[in-house]
Amino acid sequence: MPRGIAGVAGGLVAWIVVATLINLGLRYGWPAYAAVEKEMTFTLAMMVARLILSAVASACAGATVAWISRRNNRAIMICAVLLFVLFLPVHYQLWNGFPLWYHVAFFVLLVGMVFVGAALLRRNPAS
């Protein structure tokens, strides 16, 4: 049980760290992105970049929770559900600022890539 809890916590921290680092890369490497980030008036390419950011962060979260918890399926599921629940109020506030497809894609990738990241770790016998 302690490994499961640590795994979930580690997965959430991994999501935050990876998402923050990628977002900083977008902000400093893409001046047009930085110019509209506060207003959140993103172009299609910027929205896709944000979805990729979330997908990569979620895969890293899944791999982290699987690694720490020794591939505990319950911990992986809890991490995915917690990410979903934590982002529901955020996307509720952003609902009118983004098209429906963006919200759907965000949540599908957010949850799905946790399981992909965990599965990728399972395939690596060295981990």
Summarised one tens digit per residue, pLDDT across range 30-70 is: 999 999 999 999 999 999 999 999 999 999 999 999 999 99
Give CA–CA dist 75/81, Å, rounded: 10
Q: What pLDDT, in 10s, does the model give residues 101-123?
A: 999 999 999 999 999 999 997 66
Confidence of residue 127 (pLDDT cuts 50, 70, 90): low
Q: Does the pTM exceed 0.75?
A: yes
Tell me the torsion sign for CA atoms 6, 10, 11, 12.
positive
**Which residues, in sequence order, are CB contacts of 21 under 8 Å at separation 6+?**
none
Looking at residue 1, its pLDDT comes to: 77
Interior/surface letters 32-63, b for 16+ CB within 10 angstroms, e for the rest: ebeeebeeeebeeebbebbbebbbbbbbbbbb
- DSSP structural state of residue 124: -
Integer Cα distance of 11 and 5 in angstroms: 10
How far is it, in rounded angstroms, from Cα 118 to Cα 62?
Answer: 5
